[in-house]
Chain A
Amino acid sequence: KGEATEDYISNKTDRCLSDTAIKTVSGLGIGILCSVLFLRRRPWPAVLGTGIGLGMGVANCDNDFKTPHSLVSQQIRVAQRQNDPLLGSK
């Protein structure tokens, strides 16, 4: 089974938040790293990274939310008409 449709938004939301958090932390980490490595531990790479991460996350969330849901057609399989007692005899 796939996910429930009622959990569609919540799953999206969860993904968004998790993605944003990851990006943010990743940005922060990269910023810190860059800051540590290249920018003599200045705060602005961490903030930058954080901001970049956050923004990427938000943008990603936004993009994700804007993606339309794939339509799944419900196919009703017709039973055999010949011996169907509900539908009558042949």
Chain B
Amino acid sequence: MNILRNASTFQLMRRSASASRIQQTRQLCSSESSGNSTSEMPKRQSSGYGKAIAVTLVGVTGLVGGAVAYGFYDKKFLDKLETATGLNLGFLRAGKKSAEAYLPFLAGDSAASGQLSRPAPPALPTSSSGSLAMEDAKPAGLPGLKPAAEKKQQQQPQTPAAQPAKKSSTSNAEQLARLASLKKSVSDAMEEAVAKGIAAETKARQHGQQLKQAMASKADSDWAQVKAAEAAKDEALKLAGDANQKAEKLLSQFKSVLDDPKVQSNSAAKSGLAEYKTFLFELDSIRANTDRAEAETRILSEYKVEADKQQQQMLRSEVENLLPLDKRSPVEEFEQRERHLVQQAVDKSAAAGTAMTEAAVERELKQQMLQWEEEKKRLTQQLRESWEVELQQELSRQAAAHTNHVTQLTRTLRDQLTREHQAELRAALLKEHEEFEAALQGWTARVRGVESAVEGRAEALESAQRAQQLWLAAHSLRDAVTSGRNFRAPMEAVVALASRLGQDDAASALTAALPTVAPSPATRPSACAQVALIPETGGSLWLHLVSRLQASLMLRRAAKPLKPEDPVDPQNPPSLFDWLDTAEAALNDRGDLETAVRAMARLPGMARLLADDWIRDARAHLEARQTASALCSLAAAMGLDAATQHRLPGLADSD
């Protein structure tokens, strides 16, 4: 829409410029006709149409030029003008400003494009167009300029082609340094070109003004000033051209460096491309301004030439009037010629304006297209980036959600598996523990059984051993008692052994029954025979003597020994000597102390009294022997008990 609006605006401006140009031409013609003596033209009756067009053209041109010139100095007015017209007039802002300050579309899309999408800028207009430049910006895409433009385009690919050979060998840092230096050089060259361009434009305007003034005054001094101004203008244009060429050269070098693949990867290349575009646009703008100013002056010069020709023609016509060759009046002819001239000027200016407008429109269209393309690329890039960002965000969200879900599932599964594993582990451990406990208890019971068996066996063996020891001690005691030796030691041994066996009560009782004195085995029953006649109450001395005599003189027969258990005949009781014989026979023949004791206990009288101690000792001896026998029996019983316990342990608990 901007291009259409700009096109319509251009149409209006073209028309207004055309009208002003026509009006200006008429003014010039009128001023020339009134002031100049050498080229004095008679006053002609101008048509309303031509004057209107000329005035319109001149007025529009002056208006536009004044607005542009004022905008060049007043930036606020320039902003308002840009807002009102919708055009980009940033090239009028002088100073070292980067492209991004007033050409933002270049800054956003320089990375996306990477290449200069604009066509090669056309060269300075070298051929005379004969028309007044109306537009404020771009120079016209005139046919005469195309070869130069094509030549420039052909030069540009050649120039970068000569550089890669140099750039390939330098390092990336050197290229960046070169890029920076080139950038600075280009910037300086652009500044110089801008200054020279402004100076050239100023000189051209001054020349135009001088020309107008001279055409109006027709004074020779004015024409001298015009010539001086023209020379100054030419000089300024030349300097501006040189500066532009220099800037173009540096710009091409700059572009060649930017086109280097080693540099393109760097971020500095992006800003460099944007700056390149900015510089290029500035250069075009400067060239357009200078072209416009030069076109104005050229148009004025051509108009003056045409006006001079017209005067000459009028003189000729006056001369011819003297020789009436033609019926027409010189005024009518002048008007006709003026009309024709004006028409030609208008046509030329219209054509030039149309061409310039078309070129400007085309240029602007291209610029706008480039801007749109760049904007589109930038927007596309932004959209892509935003889409990518959103996509990444969405992907990250989804990934996070998925991760959370997976994490939660994993955690849940982990917990479940952990619980199951712990339960299984506990069950297995419990089972193993129980099995182990059962096995351990079995083994423990077995060991205990073995231990108890061993201990029982050991105890049985020990008890048997003690019983054996007790039996041996008891037998030794019996032997000691029987032989009449001192049986105290065997008795004590028997008591100790019996206490160890736990039968100390029985053994103690038995050993307590042992007499403390050892009975004397030596018996003297023969002493009792000496008191055979003495009763228990005693007898006289004479009786004792008689009894002794009797005992010494008596011859006893080897009577049959009596048995104490036999019944006694009261009519014929056994005598003392019978009993003594029985006792002696029992002792001497059989060693039967018990029978002897029993027989001795049957002794009557004093014999019994005399045998009392012997009987007591014999009884003690018999008791000791009986006790020893009882101890032997006890020991045997204990040994049997131990043996029984060893073989039949259950019987031990049946007491």
A-B complex is real: yes
Residues of A within 8 A of B (CB): 4-6, 8-10, 13, 16, 58, 61-62, 65-69, 74, 79, 83-86
Interface check B610, CB cutoff 8 A: yes
Asked if B527 and A65 make an inter-chain contact with CB atoms under 8 angstroms apart, the answer reads no
CB distance from B617 to the nearest CB of A (A): 9
B512 touches A69 (CB 8 A): no
Task: Point out the residues of chain B lying under 8 angstroms from A84, CB to CB.
Answer: 509
Min C-beta distance of A26 to chain B, whole Å: 19
- Binary flags per residue of B389-424, CB closer than 8 Å to A gives 1, else 0: 000000000000000000000000000000000000
Q: How many Å from the CB of B530 to the closest CB on chain A?
A: 7
CB of B538 within 8 A of CB of A69, answer yes
Chain A residue numbers with a CB within 8 Å of B531 are: 9
Report the separation of the CA atoms of residues A6 and B612 in the bound assembly, to the nearest whole angstrom.
7
Report chain B residues within 8 Å CB of A85.
503, 505-506, 509-510
Q: Produce 1/0 per residue, B606-648, CB < 8 A to A.
A: 1001111110100000000000001000000000000000000
- B513-530: which have CB < 8 Å to A? 513, 524, 527-528, 530
B451 interface residue (CB < 8 Å to A): no
Return B517 CB to nearest CB of chain A, in Å. 8
Across the interface, do B541 and A6 meet the contact criterion of CB distance under 8 Å?
no
Taking CB as reference atom, which chain A residue is nearest B531? Answer: A9
Complex Cα distance, B503 from A9, in Å, reads: 47
Q: Do B542 and A62 touch across chains, with their CB atoms under 8 A apart?
A: yes
**A6's contact among B510, B536, B538, B613, by CB below 8 Å, is which?**
B613
Is there an interface contact between A79 and B611, defined as CB atoms closer than 8 Å? no
Contacts of A69 in B (CB 8 A): 536, 538, 606, 609
Q: Do the beta carbons of B541 and A65 come within 8 Å of each other?
A: yes
> Does B610 lie within 8 Å of A8, measured CB to CB?
yes
Q: Evaluate whether A68 and B610 lie within 8 angstroms (CB atoms) in the complex, with A6-B527, A79-B513, A86-B509 already known.
A: no
Q: Is the CB of A79 within 8 A of B609?
A: no
Do B544 and A9 touch across chains, with their CB atoms under 8 A apart? yes
- On whether the beta carbons of A68 and B537 are closer than 8 Å, the reply is yes
Closest Cβ–Cβ distance, residue A89 to chain B (whole Å): 11
CB pairs A–B below 8 angstroms (11 shown): A8-B609, A8-B610, A9-B544, A10-B527, A65-B539, A66-B538, A69-B538, A85-B509, A86-B506, A86-B513, A86-B630
How far does the alpha carbon of A83 sit from the alpha carbon of B505 in the complex, in Å?
7
Interface of A is mostly: helix
Which B residues are in CB contact (< 8 Å) with A13? 544
CB of B572 within 8 Å of the partner chain: no
Q: How far is the CA of A15 from the CA of B189 in the complex (A)?
A: 183
Instruction: Say if the beta carbon of B540 comes within 8 Å of chain A.
Output: yes
Chain B residues closer than 8 Å to A9, beta-carbon distance: 527, 530-531, 544, 606, 610
Q: CA of A3 to CA of B539 in the docked complex: distance in angstroms?
A: 20
Task: List chain B residues, Cβ under 8 A from A68.
Answer: 536-538
Q: Are A5 and B611 closer than 8 Å at their CB atoms?
A: yes
A62 and B542 CA atoms in complex are apart in Å by 8
Docked complex Cα distance between A86 and B627 (Å): 10
Expressed in whole angstroms, the minimum distance between the Cβ of B454 and any Cβ of chain A is 31
B513 to chain A, nearest CB (A): 7
User: Main SS of chain B's interface residues?
Assistant: helix
Task: Give chain A nearest CB distance to B288 CB in angstroms.
Answer: 152
Q: Indicate the member of A66, A74, A83 with the most B CB atoms within 10 Å.
A: A66
Distance A68 CA – B512 CA, assembled complex (angstroms): 35
For residue B388, give the distance in angstroms from its CB to the closest CB of chain A. 113
The reply to whether A6 and B530 contact each other, CB–CB distance below 8 Å, is no
Closest to A66 in B: B538
Question: How many Å from the CB of B531 to the closest CB on chain A?
Answer: 6
Q: 0/1 per residue, B167-181, Cβ < 8 Å to A? A: 000000000000000
- Provide the bound-state CA to CA distance between A27 and B475, in Å: 62
Instruction: State A5–B618 Cα separation when bound (angstroms).
Output: 13
**Is the pair B509, A66 in contact by a Cβ cutoff of 8 Å?**
no
List A contacts of B509 (CB < 8 A): 79, 83-86
What CA separation (Å) do A65 and B531 show in the bound complex?
11
11 more contacts with CB within 8 A, not counting A5-B612, A84-B509, are: A4-B614, A5-B610, A5-B614, A6-B610, A9-B606, A10-B527, A13-B544, A66-B538, A66-B539, A66-B540, A86-B510
Least Cβ–Cβ distance between B538 and chain A, in angstroms: 5
List the A side residues contacting B630 at CB < 8 Å: 86
Residues in B474-515 with C-beta less than 8 Å from chain A:
503, 505-506, 509-510, 512-513
Instruction: Tell me the nearest residue of chain B to A9, going by C-beta.
Output: B531
Name A61's closest neighbour in chain B (CB-CB).
B541
Contact B614 A6 (CB under 8 A): yes
CB distance A79 to B538 under 8 Å? no
* CB proximity to A under 8 Å, residues B178-218: none
Cα–Cα, bound, A74→B606 (Å): 17
Report the bound CA distance from A65 to B612 in whole Å. 18
Instruction: Give the interface centre of B539, B542, B610, B630 by most chain A CB atoms within 10 Å.
Output: B610
Contact flags (1/0) for B564-601 with A, using CB distance below 8 Å? 00000000000000000000000000000000000000
Instruction: Tell me the complex Cα distance, A16–B542, Å.
Output: 13
Flag if B530 contacts A16 (CB, 8 Å): no
Q: What B residues does A65 contact at CB under 8 A? A: 534, 538-541, 543-544
B177 vs chain A, min Cβ distance (A): 130
* B518 CB to nearest chain A CB (Å): 13
